[in-house]
Structure 1
């Protein structure tokens, strides 16, 4: 439960940061919090209903994010058709790589936000430099992921969705790093 509490606390903290920035629109929250989807999934599948509710009471931002994602997921399931219907599902390897890319993106966002929130990036120059190295590595891994999808014959529409989703993350990280 401690691991789930740690994940919920991170989600809660980022939701608080978004609230402080007056980010209230559901779509914007989902975009900003995309890197936390794997963490939320871990909590959803790894906790009992009672544990999940305890985390929700302890971390209201976590609860709000979980609620937003549940509503978005339900709305998506209820659509009569979606532009990605009929696209081939990722291989297990590509699912794992995509998950790792999301987790690293979340780490980068949280790291840069924490240093920005401290007021001065100069004080943490060594850590910021390490984040820069991780950012460059993430961009290279993202390119490798896309190349791998292309090599396996991924449909053009699949690559468009990947470019859009990870493009939003890359842009936000770039802005935070700048």
Structure 2
């Protein structure tokens, strides 16, 4: 991945962090929950940059830096726990991990899109784009159900299914509220 693509990803994260700040969402846990869809993008940046490039992106995009810091602190806190409820659970297949990442990315796109149109104040002007977001939202819900069905068919542990339901349930509810 080239630096221009990495800058584009960092800029998207920065933009959403600015939107959250404008909505006075400043609590690290709230940001963590609202920004889960950006984890795949953050990972691409994390593994695709040198230390100097990461510093440059952090300096150029302060919202990206704040998000990366929040995620790093959350990861460290989770890693340092003596035990976690998911310890010992079998990992999902690579295909399911990729599907989950794509669902998170699409959820982030939906959230950003609905927030942008709501922020414009006049949804009528953007009706065709809002309709397209509605189509994407319905497709996302369908893909999410297919993902869950596939996990169940594979015999995925009940605890994993509960985590998937909880995490994606929160996302689905936020998107539903934005879409209304």
Partner of 2:167: 165
RMSD: 0.6
Partner of 1:120: 122
Superposition TM-score, scaled by structure 2 size: 0.98
Question: What is the rounded CA distance, in whole Å, between the counterparts of 2:98 and 2:129 in structure 1?
Answer: 27
Partner of 1:76: 78
Question: What is the rounded CA distance, in whole Å, between the counterparts of 2:124 and 2:87 in structure 1?
Answer: 48
Question: What is the rounded CA distance, in whole Å, between the counterparts of 1:117 and 1:132 in structure 2?
Answer: 17
Question: What is the rounded CA distance, in whole Å, between the counterparts of 1:24 and 1:126 in structure 2?
Answer: 32
Partner of 2:25: 23
* Structure 1 alignment gaps of length 5 or more: none
SS in 2 for 1:109: helix
SS in 2 for 1:85: coil
* Structure 2 alignment gaps of length 5 or more: none
Partner of 2:154: 152
Partner of 1:100: 102
Query: Runs of 4+ in structure 1 displaced over 3 angstroms?
Result: none
Question: What is the rounded CA distance, in whole Å, between the counterparts of 1:131 and 1:149 in structure 2?
Answer: 26
Question: What is the rounded CA distance, in whole Å, between the counterparts of 2:9 and 2:119 in structure 1?
Answer: 20
Partner of 1:141: 143
Question: What is the rounded CA distance, in whole Å, between the counterparts of 1:68 and 1:25 in structure 2?
Answer: 10
Q: CA deviation at 1:120?
A: 1.2
Q: CA deviation at 1:118?
A: 1.1
Partner of 2:46: 44
Question: What is the rounded CA distance, in whole Å, between the counterparts of 1:130 and 1:143 in structure 2?
Answer: 20
The alignment covers a number of residue pairs equal to 178
Partner of 1:132: 134
Q: CA deviation at 1:15?
A: 0.5
Q: CA deviation at 1:85?
A: 0.5
